[in-house]
Amino acid sequence: MASSKKTDSGFVETIKTIVWALVIAGVVRTLFFQPFFIPSGSMKDTLLVGDFLFVNKMAYGYSRYSCPFASADFSPCPIEGRLFASEPKRGDVVVFRHPVQNVDFIKRLVGLPGDKIQMIDGTLYINGTAAPQEPAGNFTEIKEPQGAQGTPPRCVNDPVGLGGTCIKQRFIETLPGNTPSDPPVKHDILNISNTWMADNTPVLTVPEGEYFFMGDNRDNSEDSRFPQSVGGVGFVPAQYLVGRADRIMFSSAGKSLMYFWTWRPDRFFKAVK
């Protein structure tokens, strides 16, 4: 009889431990950090397919999309607007909820409210001024299926057979700070051509309370250059911001994290710039 009571007591304690672990994990996931796995090459070479990072959810405050499983129709966080809101900085790498597709995206913030954004022959213009680009050699990788999606990269030197060397031009782009007194932000971008469908755009004025995002892999990114009317990102309202990507924790070039021979130790704990 005593043994049965001990067994029941042990089972109850185990259940309590699991419940508390889930509660703590839920609080951390909601208020502090959200794991994010890079599924595509739109942010190369800043982020590679298979990079695993934690998103800092405290960076910009909290909205209905800060909670897991949130959507336009339902959220465990019944928040209007943003709580403890903080203005993101131009150049931040941001995770946000896609306003149309209801999935999380990660891109670089290039346009603030009121900015006039335009692409001319593959060059980014902010308020009529070109963001300077400095040649920085080539980015090379193997032409092969990448990540769980198995998508091969696009290359300047296409057609390239599987197993061949895929080349993209790399530049260091300089973005202005949020204000004239803020330091400029330098980051890598990749280019394949200057005649891609989104390399030339009209002037796009960012509305108040919204933001304009682009991928660093400029010719392989679905971003704010594509309007929401065709399923694109378009302008992203502040409430859709989830958090800022600060550091890569782990990276694997394989289809599974279990393929240890595809791990990239040089990217472990690397800061996102």
Long-range contacts made by residues 179-184, C-beta under 8 angstroms, separation at least 24?
182/89
**Which of 61, 64, 62, 60 has its CA nearest to residue 77?**
64
Write down the residue that tokens 């951390």 correspond to.
28
Q: What is the DSSP string of 160-201?
A: --TTSEEEEEEEEEEE--SSTTSPPEEEEEEES-S-STTSS-
Separation CA 79–CA 209 (nearest Å): 16
| Contact by Cβ (8 Å): 85, 61 | yes
Residues identified as active-site: 42, 107
| CB-CB contact of 122 with 217 (8 Å) | no
Beta-strand relationship, 270-271 and 51-56: unpaired
243, 59 contact by CB (below 8 A) = yes
